[in-house]
């Protein structure tokens, strides 16, 4: 599975030196997740309106290769999907000019929104995942 979302770094994402705040890498991964789910036919508003499950973040790993700076443009690319019974681990590569700037690995648990307990990944999502 390969999915990409373009980005451009604006002033609001940077510190006084024009370097991206670390949490913005998580924002880029979240934007890519939302774009990917929409591409699968499961936009977040549909998940919220039509289903009783959610995919909250339960673990994050972030590795920087170099800083992102004001004006940088690139792609956040979904490079890996590891499927568990009750979770998805998604790996996103943040790239500029074809070079990997950062890697964000995000573990999403699958929860029943009513009970808050973990549940098996739903069939509507499983059908969309690569084999």
Q: What is the distance between the alpha carbons of residues 22 and 55, in angstroms, rounded to a whole number?
A: 22
Q: What is the distance between the alpha carbons of residues 109 and 80, in angstroms, rounded to a whole number?
A: 16
Mean pLDDT, consecutive 10-residue stretches, the chain (131 aa), reads 92 95 96 96 93 96 97 97 96 96 98 96 91 67
Report the sign of the C-alpha dihedral through residues 115, 51, 2, 103, in that order.
Answer: negative
Cα 88 off chain centre by:
11
The pTM of this model reads: 0.93
Structure-token pair, residue 39: 């591409």
pLDDT given at position 4: 97
pLDDT given at position 2: 83
pLDDT given at position 1: 62
Taking the domain 3-126, which CATH number applies? 3.10.129.10
pLDDT given at position 86: 97
């Amino acid at each position: 599975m390969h999915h990409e979302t373009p980005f451009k770094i604006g002033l609001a994402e940077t510190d006084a030196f024009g370097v991206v705040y670390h949490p913005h890498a998580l924002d880029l991964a979240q934007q890519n997740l939302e774009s990917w789910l929409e591409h699968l036919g499961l936009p977040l508003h549909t998940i919220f309106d039509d289903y009783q499950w959610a995919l909250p973040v339960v673990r994050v790993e972030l590795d920087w290769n170099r800083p992102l700076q004001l004006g940088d443009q690139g792609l956040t690319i979904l490079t890996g999907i590891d499927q568990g019974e009750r979770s998805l681990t998604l790996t996103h590569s943040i790239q500029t000019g074809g070079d990997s700037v950062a890697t964000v690995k995000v573990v999403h648990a699958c929860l029943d929104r009513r009970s808050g307990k973990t549940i098996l990944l739903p069939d509507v999502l499983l059908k969309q995942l690569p084999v």
